[in-house]
Amino acid sequence: MDGRALPVQPGLTGQPPKTYKIPVPDPDGGPPTVLVYRRRPRAHGKVLGLPSGWVYVYDPDADPDDGPKWPWSRRR
């Protein structure tokens, strides 16, 4: 990333997404590279132990097509 802040659309529950994918265009015109960031708790509160914020951490080993695995949409 080049230091820009990107807007993150919260979901229906008001939480940011657990996985954030950023497509980076290839300078040679090939397919874009997808960078995957995972949501982690920034810190935990002292009283209830709930997360007090979120931070995205780069995951170099992640599969960009990794998504929910629904039992009715498995490959046959």
* Domain ranges, ordered by start, for the chain: 19-62
Predicted pLDDT of residue 73: 66
> How many Cβ atoms sit within 10 Å of the Cβ of residue 35?
16
Q: Is the dihedral of CA 49, 5, 60, 65 positive or negative?
A: positive
Predicted pLDDT of residue 76: 58
Q: For the chain, which residues score pLDDT lower than 50?
A: none
Predicted pLDDT of residue 26: 87
Predicted pLDDT of residue 41: 85
pLDDT in tens, 10-27: 778 888 888 888 888 888
Predicted pLDDT of residue 57: 86
